Amino acid sequence: MTRIARAICLGLVALVASCDGLTPPEALPPPLDTELRQTLSRWGAIPIGSMPAQNPALVDLGQALMFDKILSGNRDIACATCHLPAQHAADGLSLAIGTGGTGAGPSRTLGPGRQFVPRSAPSLLNAGLGLNYLFWDGQIARSGFGPPPPGPAAGGFVTPAGALLPAVPNILAAQAMFPVVNRREMRGERGDLDVFGNPNELAQYGDSQFVEIWQALMQRLLAIDAYKAKFAAAFPSVLPGALGFQHAATAIAAFQMQAFTKTDSPFDRYLNRDDAALPVEAKRGALLFFGKARCSQCHSGPFLGASSFSNAGVPQLGPGTGNAAPLDLGRGGLKDQSFYKFAFRVTPLRNVELTAPYMHNGAFPTLEAVVRHYNDVTEALQTYDVSQLPPTLRDTYHGDDATINAVLATLDFRLRTPLGLTDAEQRDLVAFLKALTDPAARDLTSLIPATVPSGLPVEP
């Protein structure tokens, strides 16, 4: 066959294929990376930059305070007890166990006569990245974002202390002021004795005596020479008599920002134009996340969450909070926020793979369980399997029809229609969520100091 005849035959074959309805190349869908990058651009997804280096003396003081049980009324629990490096700056529990408990991490148990903390201890990973709200109900907020405080907002932050909050440099320092005043978390109850059998002097104050509690804590700290030296190094321009707990909180925040900011995930590398950073299933999952699964409608922004509140139809369990106990109204339990009944802060999803169990009360043990819940929230809530909870919490599940109907009555409108995700799509979505993990966040145990200035034992 001549060259001309061969060309004519090939042309006829192409013509027949076109007439048979085969899609011409220009009509094919774009390659996976092209489609995903177009989607990410529409949603404004950007890589998270690194955290600026913190003052080493401030970090050194903050590390000591983070792991020192001297900050608790009974000298039996540290900040790190509920935010363990071995548990990725959380505790691995559905509901946290505060003062009076024994052990650490998932094996921690309640002490005699104690109750669970009503909510889980959120991971501190990336908590210092300029978020607008902290705590599950957002009671710590930047001014202009939170509900009206009890008094004027102090220092640009809305907090339960109102105008009593001393000046602090960032929202993470504002947050660090409050676990120490919470009776169930760290402060203890009237009549408690500390680990040495001495009266708990912090517990004598009323719950609104924030200033007196903070002053008493500083008296404890500054009675220890090693802490005097660390405060002097961290705050050389502040006279010893002018030191307050806001300085301790500032140091704790500096340590947390330095130690727990982990932003080099495969997804971040992909956003920095490395196409090979994400496996194919994670790329498909990302398209679902920003498309059919509608996750990004709430989990938006650089942190994929943390800027809004939603009633996600989470099962109610635990002792509850405030006047609604044994239920937890979330943000709806705050003053003038009844619109947000059963709504909680939308969790930022960076490093979410490492922070099980999930939701404000740890109702779901795995990411797979979370995705199944979102696939059909109404059905999932009505058929919630209590066996996925730890045995100690199963009796605290509020699965009566009245509670379920109350939660569904204010369910986020975006969750009222089932997503219709197939099993394969759910697996792809989980693969994307796991691609949000910075490998450096997997093992944080090097952060644990051998000793702390008080001489109290450090959690392993």
Q: What rounded mean pLDDT belongs to the chain?
A: 92
Beta strands in 339-449 (DSSP E): 344-345
Position 24 scores a pLDDT of 54
**pLDDT > 70: what percent of the chain?**
92
Q: What is the mean pLDDT of residues 396-419?
A: 97
| Residue 11 banded pLDDT, cuts 50, 70, 90 | very low
**d(C-alpha 134, C-alpha 151), whole Å:** 19
Long-range contacts of 1-5 (CB under 8 A, 24+ apart): none
Query: What residue type is assigned to position 235 of the chain?
Result: F
Domains of the chain: residue spans and CATH: 56-262 (1.10.760.10), 266-441 (1.10.760.10)
Q: What is the mean pLDDT of residues 129-144?
A: 89
| Residue 341 banded pLDDT, cuts 50, 70, 90 | very high
Count Cβ atoms within 10 A of the Cβ of residue 60 and give its class: 0-12 exposed, 13-18 middle, 19 or more buried: middle
Name, in order, each residue with C-beta under 8 angstroms of 38's C-beta and a sequence gap of 6 or more. Answer: 30
Position 378 scores a pLDDT of 98
Q: What would the pLDDT profile of 64-121 be if each residue is shown by its tens digit?
A: 999 999 999 999 999 999 999 999 999 999 999 999 999 999 999 999 999 999 999 9
Q: Is 158 helix (H, G, I), strand (E, B) or coil?
A: strand
Q: What would the pLDDT profile of 142-187 be if each residue is shown by its tens digit?
A: 887 766 555 555 668 999 999 999 999 999 999 999 999 999 999 9
Looking at per-residue pLDDT, the higher value among 17 and 48 belongs to 48
Q: What would the pLDDT profile of 301-316 be if each residue is shown by its tens digit?
A: 888 988 899 999 999 9
Position 27 scores a pLDDT of 52
pLDDT of 7 above 70: no
**d(C-alpha 162, C-alpha 145), whole Å:** 14
pLDDT of 10 above 50: no
pTM above 0.85, yes or no: yes
